Amino acid sequence: MCLFSRISRNAFHEIASITPDENQKGQSRISFHLIYKFIRYRVYNTNCFGAWYTKRQLNRVHEKCPNGHSSAATFTYGDITVTAVPQNSDNYSYMVICGSTNDCVVIDVGDAQPVLQCLSDKNKIPQAVLVTHKHWDHCYGNKELKKRYKELNIYGGEIDRPADVNMYVQNEALIQIGKLQFKALHVPGHTAGHMIYALQLNDELKCLFTGDFLFIAGIGKIFEGNTSQMISSLLMLSDFPPETIIFPGHEYAKLNLSFALSLEKDNEVLIAMSQEVHEKRTARSPIVGVTLGDEYKINPYLRTCSLKFRKALVAAGYDVPAEAKVVADRNDDEVKDNSMEAQIAVFDALEKAKNDFTEEFVKQIERKRPKNIRNNA
């Protein structure tokens, strides 16, 4: 969805963060605005309005960007291929195919049109659709696929219950489609019932389809959960080896890396990846298929237990637990205070930094827009 819509839908998290000692003069105006956005988010999740809004958004994208926001890209792992299918203004669906059995599974059909085109190009019939969560940009196309393929099973979380799902799954459920085996994992935070799907590529290698839970160098906004839930969900990633491959639900890599670099300007891995991403995005290549090991080096939300990262937040002017403020001569990256309370404090500081960065980014866009367009917006 557009940048404005992504920002505006974070209403619930913003309302929860308002403190009693905020400036009273502006509090009523701010609270009214946030309550309006909260109501808008709730309405967005209803069947009638959400479907209408998403259809309208997709029609606009089809008209303005008929070739999609990126080129499709296929990744091969032995007998299994994973194709990133661009859709909407920055979403990805994924098509997983087993070469030896011809089995085909699609993840997150926000828009049926590009998925159906990809299926036609590859001459495949899908056996299943997996849905990560209930937001319409990840499930609007389910209905159209179900019309086209009458026997299609559509899997989604029992808690979120996304549109047109007919097979509900819970945490650690196994989904076997021919030789393709997926494990559903519950990761509350972005939504209450968000699921991710782990695919066993071979005896040693797995990949994760993370929807709006984990992005390249970022995470999804906390709409329905709380900070401790999101932290617990992120900690679950430590169960996977660093070689695990990440396939996220959106193309946010470039902006996320810019934010990460604004905090860790000397992070060599960040610098190298930012340059690589710039070149790839210039060529319209999707930034997906990054390893979990790299994410731990570049993703601010996976670095909250890093002493170096906490010091970077302090240097940027954000409040974190005292340890990062007083230790100046340590070269190691070990954090002594790794309690949930400390992690929440670091996470909250990180969210404040991200909000400040986003506000400045939006202001820069506004300054670059022609004056007549700005006045009519």
162: domain CATH number is 3.60.15.10
Do 46 and 98 lie in a common domain?
no
The pTM assigned to this predicted structure is 0.88
Does a structural domain hold residue 283? yes
pLDDT at residue 225 in the model: 87
Query: Nearest to residue 201, comparing CAs of 209, 191, 212?
Result: 209
pLDDT exceeds 90 at position 291: yes
171, 186 in Cβ contact below 8 A? Answer: yes
Which region among 19-23, 86-90, 284-288, 337-341 has the lowest average model confidence (pLDDT)? 19-23
Take residue 10 and report the two structure tokens written for it.
């974070």
10 pLDDT band, cuts 50/70/90, is: very low
Whether residue 252 sits in one domain with residue 107: yes
Confidence of residue 21 (pLDDT cuts 50, 70, 90): very low
Span 83-106, average pLDDT: 98
Return phi, psi of residue 145, to 5°: -65, -40
Residue 115 sits in the same domain as residue 35: no
Task: Determine, yes or no, domain membership for 52.
Answer: yes
Residue 80: other Cβ atoms inside 10 A: 21
d(CA 18, CA 120): 50
Say whether both 7 and 47 belong to one domain. Answer: yes
- Tell me the average pLDDT of the chain: 88
Q: Which residues pair with 206 in a beta bridge?
A: 200
Query: Is the domain of 32 the same as that of 128?
Result: no
| Structural domain includes residue 321 | no
Q: Which of 303, 318, 341 is the last residue of a domain?
A: 303
Cβ-proximal residues to 255 (8 Å cutoff; 6+ apart), any chain: 361
Among the listed residues 199, 237, 245, 206, the one whose alpha carbon sits nearest the alpha carbon of residue 104:
199
Over its C-alpha atoms, the chain yields an Rg (Å, rounded) of: 21
The strand ranges marked E within the chain are 73-77, 80-87, 91-98, 104-107, 128-130, 153-157, 167-169, 174-177, 180-186, 195-200, 206-211, 214-215, 218-219, 245-248, 290-291
**Residue 372 to residue 45: CA distance in whole angstroms:** 34
Q: How confident is the model at residue 32 (pLDDT cuts 50, 70, 90)?
A: low
User: Which of 46, 64, 82 represents a domain boundary (last residue)?
Assistant: 64
Clarify whether residues 163 and 200 are in a common domain: yes
Q: Which of 35, 64, 93 corresponds to the end of one domain?
A: 64
Identify whether residues 51 and 142 lie together within a single domain: no
What does the alpha-carbon distance between residue 75 and residue 77 come to, in Å, rounded to a whole number? 7
- Among 99, 56, 62, CA closest to 77: 99
> Is the domain of 156 the same as that of 279?
yes
pLDDT surpassing 50 at residue 202: yes
Longest C-alpha distance within the chain, in Å? 66
Contact 254, 295 (CB under 8 A): no
Asked if residue 322 is part of any domain, the answer here is no
pLDDT of residue 9: 40
Do 60 and 78 sit in the same domain of this protein? Answer: no
Round to whole Å and give the CA distance between 326 and 265: 21
Q: How confident is the model over 309-329, as pLDDT tens digits?
A: 999 999 999 988 766 565 555
Whole-number pLDDT of residue 4: 36
In a domain, 176, yes or no: yes
Residue whose structure tokens are 């091969």: 76
Mean pLDDT confidence for 295-301: 98
Residue 43 located in a structural domain? yes
Same domain, 32 and 87: no
pLDDT number for residue 64: 95
Return the higher-pLDDT residue of 280 and 327: 280
Mean pLDDT of 167-183: 98
The band of 67, judged by pLDDT with boundaries at 50, 70 and 90, is very high
Domain contains 312: no
pLDDT of the residue at 370: 66
Same-domain status, 39 and 99: no
Q: Beta-carbon neighbour count of residue 192 at 10 Å?
A: 16
Task: Of 145-159, 291-305, 319-333, give the lowest mean pLDDT range.
Answer: 319-333
Distance (Å, rounded) from C-alpha 336 to C-alpha 222?
Answer: 27
Domain that holds residue 59: 3-64
Shared domain check, 50 and 19: yes
Q: What is the count of structural domains for the chain?
A: 2
CA 43 from chain centre, in angstroms, equals: 21
Residue 39 lies in a domain: yes
Q: Is the pLDDT of residue 268 over 80?
A: yes
